[in-house]
Structure 1
Amino acid sequence: MIIDDRHYDIIIIGSGAGGGTLAGCLSSKGHSVLLLERGEAVEAGWQSRPRVKDEQWFGPDGDPFSPQTFYAVGGNTKIWGAVLERMREKDFTDLPLQEGVSPSWPFDYTHLAPYYDQAETLYRVHGKAGVDPTEPSRTKGFDHSPRAVMPFLEELREGLERHGCQPYDLPLSWSDNDGDPVGDAELCGLAHADSANLEIRHKAKALRLHVSPSGREVKRVEADVEGEIWLFSSDLVVLAAGAINTPAILLRSGNERHPGGLSNSSDQVGRNLMNVQITSILQRSAAPNSGRYPRSYGVNDYYWGDKNVTFPLGHIQAAGGVLQDALFAESPPVLSLVSKLIPNFGIKRLASRTVAWWAMTEVLPEQDNRVWLNKEQIRINYLHNNREAHDRLVYRWIDTIKSVEADPAIKVVTSEPVHPRGEAPLSVVGFACGTCRMGEDPSASVVDSTGQCHDLDNVYIADSSVFPSCPSVGPGLTTIALALRMAETLDKRLEA
């Protein structure tokens, strides 16, 4: 075991949307930051090369699976598709769904709105305000205009508009790096870091946290750094390892004073796992396309319901090209859907004749949907709820695209009797949240409204595990906004 002889102001575990943003902000304010990243930096162009995955988690049936998670500087933002949406005002309130009430947050939209503004600027979000009918209130527009989309997608957009839909340009993070243009936590969050105050340890897997005799403070962070065990110390510790690995670290850190795991007097660590329901729906393209293009526009006409129901159904996205979109590239079960559309084609030819959509619906927190440990194994018990609402969204969208296909002015897709579709498997965890929920009641939550652990005086959580609810539009921008807000809190605390 090696004990690092340097003491830091703050240790951050994980360099994704929360951790990377926080490390950049705090180091630029003069605080010494140690960033522990399980992976290493990846060069531009890595997306086109296959990667070996040697990590396995275990599902409800006990069978192992390889999770769609990426360990590198930037974390899962390296494969997130770069869509950065604000939660809607009502998403922060007690929101009736078909199967129950999605719980409120300890603050409202107006509290987080200034940090959404900062997040969109920091991550160079391109978009256009005033088009999406569900868009929350804003004090300013986007700093950057929408990215141009492929011509065949423009024709589809026009067809949707003729049939009563209101498609809008998805807000996309886009960097100024020509070699790696899609925005992520490395290119945006860490871009403004002060290298004199920031140390990044690559290939450093955080194992557990060691507390003081009182059990109220973490004194050491134990990590496996390239096969050697290290101990690091700091005044403050932030967990930003994601909604699966953050609770796993807390559970693994149990001791006599915290027998159920750190910050787990409420027994909520690892519970309330939520993961947006995602179904891929495919259309057949009339003419070949490149199969390599980013996501383009969204449709929220059914976000709060439709003509038949008053409960929320969810969000529609035009997926990126099948050869580029990470939900396909990282998930062979989803990719296999494409072969049902045009049998006996090679994958590149298949991709060039496919237009894909994502239907996305939120779920409710449930105690039995949880992350837990069997010795060192990460186990996940999870079953989707709010299923009928999601099914309604899928069928509603299929009816919509069939109407578009029947439009004689539409030449870019063919009319098909069947549209292959399939749900994203358990391995797709990029939208997971809720496993260290935020709340003011220590008996029912893990962190308070600032992200500080109820049971620990110097530990905070800065990832989507703190979400009380699960927005259909995804957690990315909200995670960044919360990290920017936390940077202010920790800066003041460290200065004091």
Structure 2
Amino acid sequence: MSHYDVIVIGSGAGGGTLVHRLAPSGKQVLLLERGDWLAREPQNWSASDVFIDNRYVSEDTWYDEGGNAFQPQIHYFVGGATKLYGAALYRLREEDFGELAHHDGSSPAWPVGYDEFEPYYTQAEQLYQVHGARGEDPTEPHASAPYPHPAVSHEPRIQQLADDLQAAGLHPFHAPCGVMLDEADPPNSRCVRCATCDGFPCLVHAKADAEVLAVRPALTHPNVTLLTRSRALRLETNATGTAVTGVVVERDGEQEMFTADVVVVACGAANSAALLLSSANAAHPHGVANASGQLGRNYMFHNSQAVLALSKEENPTVFQKTLGLNDFYFGTDDFEFPLGNIQMVGKSSADMYRGEKPLQTRLAPQRTLENVARHAVDFWLSTEDLPRPDNRVTLRHDGSLQLAYEATNQVPKARLLAELKDLLKHIGLDEHHLIPRHAYLKNDIPVAGVAHQAGTCRFGSDPATSVLNTDCRAHEVDNLYVVDTSFFPSIGAVNPALTAMANALRVGDHLLARLGVTSHEVAGVH
């Protein structure tokens, strides 16, 4: 049995970023990752392998509320979900931190405001090399610094789209994205500006993911240890349940125990809840940190729609994810409730169409599908999902994960799509041919499309209604923290990764103080 100062379970946007913050402290840190390093291989950039064959999707089996088995679209690698995310790194709007009225109810206020997160958003943008332009998006919150890198330029067809939207009185903006791209000095640029950033692993490690920019740098410090293929099975506590005394890990078929002064869970919203539920004991009969009964509840993920519109002219764009639109984020003149965010999604291809609709495209000539792809302009729409106690993670009798979920805000979701259709009529795109992009929605099975999941260990000031306190420490377990998107009380309508990264840095500073590390000892960590 080995002892550490800190054990972090999960190496994604939350866990990987936290370890990066702790690494220069000299404290002994163990990072546990149930997956392995994602191989750099030609299949990284193959639409067929990634979207059709699900090469990088886990083999997990989860169950819905009715007991029906499904394969969750989840990824276990060093870097977690960031290995295949689109690196769209948005801040939540300042209003998202307060209570917001929605069509189906209210999203609750966070126990801390945007101002507490702001400096950590700035640090996260610097760490993950975010490209963007302040002042274009009228909904953007105030920032203490410019983006660390200039916005990624639009390719001609997307620039035309931006111009057309602006001419229609809207406010398109350069989407904030994390890539190692230097347009002013291409030879110095790791990014080759390909079409495979969104939803693919990056073969050249040019995507700003947690493995490349957080975990690998952390491992240069001798006090940081990474164990891959190491699944945390349960947490052990002392007899009174006030502290975690050990983490039981399955590694290469064997079980072993690790101990630490502080244990941090960052397995993803569903799996973090499942781990704490599976750790039930005499002191915590309903799961560790579940005195409130809120553990596993309030599961959220965005009401997302991926669609393509057919352009009358060809769209030769390669790197398409450069444009966003938030004019409908908080509603419209004739609809008082928030609708959400519109942004571009990765460019579609003929191979994706065959994988999405094999029967319908079986007799279609390849040249026909390629022609559709040449004219396609692809959009991603996100509407806020609301926390509901009955949308929850539980464990079945055999310990497997069960996910009960019923969508919220379906009317705003439909209204957002209608707003997009109305726009297309005026900007040279065919609003009658908005085709669902099932590859991105993973065959349009809502409960299986677990990207952007959040909320199962919400933080708050009241132990009766929340799992974690404002430092993301479990109310009743002194040395247990959770730093993935589980802590979200609400999810907003923009990609959650940057908020998870910022929060990990925020909690990291709290842990450094708890461990007695001075700012001098971590000089350069910021």
Partner of 1:410: none
| 2:424–2:431 contact (8 Å) kept in structure 1 | no
> 2:104 corresponds to which letter in structure 1?
E
Q: Say if 2:255 is the partner of 1:224.
A: no
Match of 1:76 among 68, 81, 106: 81
Q: Say if 2:236 is the partner of 1:210.
A: yes
| 2:156–2:317 contact (8 Å) kept in structure 1 | no
| 1:96-495 equivalence runs, <5 A | 96-175=101-180, 177-178=190-191, 179-193=204-218, 194-286=220-312, 293-322=319-348, 336=356, 344-346=364-366, 350-374=372-396, 375-405=398-428, 413=429, 415=430, 417-421=432-436, 424=444, 425-495=446-516
> 1:269 corresponds to which letter in structure 2?
L
105-114 or 149-158, which moves further after superposition?
A: 149-158
> What CA distance in whole angstroms lies between the structure 2 residues aligned with 1:274 and 1:63?
20
Q: Structure 1 residues 337, 137: CA separation in 2 closer, same or farther (over 3 Å shift)?
A: farther
Partner of 2:31: 35
| 1:87–1:478 contact (8 Å) kept in structure 2 | yes
| 1:342–1:350 contact (8 Å) kept in structure 2 | no
168-177 or 256-265, which moves further after superposition?
A: 168-177
| 1:291–1:323 contact (8 Å) kept in structure 2 | no
> What CA distance in whole angstroms lies between the structure 2 residues aligned with 1:97 and 1:319?
26
> What CA distance in whole angstroms lies between the structure 1 residues aligned with 2:370 and 2:456?
38
Q: Structure 1 residues 99, 340: CA separation in 2 closer, same or farther (over 3 Å shift)?
A: farther
Report Cα offsets for 1:344-368 as digits up to 9, x if no partner: 2546665444221111010211110
Q: Structure 1 residues 336, 9: CA separation in 2 closer, same or farther (over 3 Å shift)?
A: same
Q: Structure 1 residues 416, 139: CA separation in 2 closer, same or farther (over 3 Å shift)?
A: closer
Provide the secondary structure at the position in 2 that maps to 1:269. coil
Provide the secondary structure at the position in 1 that maps to 2:148. coil
> 1:388 corresponds to which letter in structure 2?
V
| 1:263–1:453 contact (8 Å) kept in structure 2 | yes
TM-score by length of 2: 0.86
Q: Structure 1 residues 388, 371: CA separation in 2 closer, same or farther (over 3 Å shift)?
A: same
Provide the secondary structure at the position in 2 that maps to 1:187. helix
User: How much does 1:58 deviate?
Assistant: 1.2
User: How much does 1:69 deviate?
Assistant: 1.2
> What CA distance in whole angstroms lies between the structure 1 residues aligned with 2:221 and 2:349?
35
| 2:72–2:450 contact (8 Å) kept in structure 1 | yes
> What CA distance in whole angstroms lies between the structure 2 residues aligned with 1:84 and 1:47?
22
User: How much does 1:339 deviate?
Assistant: 9.2
Report Cα offsets for 1:35-76 as digits up to 9, x if no partner: 000111124455225316421111233222221211111000
Q: Structure 1 residues 389, 337: CA separation in 2 closer, same or farther (over 3 Å shift)?
A: farther
| 2:320–2:344 contact (8 Å) kept in structure 1 | no
> What CA distance in whole angstroms lies between the structure 1 residues aligned with 2:24 and 2:370?
44
Q: Structure 1 residues 470, 338: CA separation in 2 closer, same or farther (over 3 Å shift)?
A: farther
> What CA distance in whole angstroms lies between the structure 2 residues aligned with 1:477 and 1:143?
14
> What CA distance in whole angstroms lies between the structure 2 residues aligned with 1:255 and 1:58?
24
> What CA distance in whole angstroms lies between the structure 2 residues aligned with 1:34 and 1:367?
33
Q: Structure 1 residues 455, 343: CA separation in 2 closer, same or farther (over 3 Å shift)?
A: farther
> What CA distance in whole angstroms lies between the structure 1 residues aligned with 2:264 and 2:253?
23
| 1:338–1:351 contact (8 Å) kept in structure 2 | no
> 1:418 corresponds to which letter in structure 2?
H
- Give the aligned CA root-mean-square deviation in angstroms: 2.4
User: How much does 1:28 deviate?
Assistant: 1.6
Overall identity of the aligned pairs, in %: 37
User: How much does 1:451 deviate?
Assistant: 0.3
| 2:421–2:431 contact (8 Å) kept in structure 1 | no
Partner of 1:408: none
Partner of 2:199: none
Report Cα offsets for 1:12-39 as digits up to 9, x if no partner: 0000000000111101221111100011
Gaps of at least 5 residues in structure 2 are 50-54, 181-188, 192-203, 518-526
Q: Say if 2:16 is the partner of 1:20.
A: yes
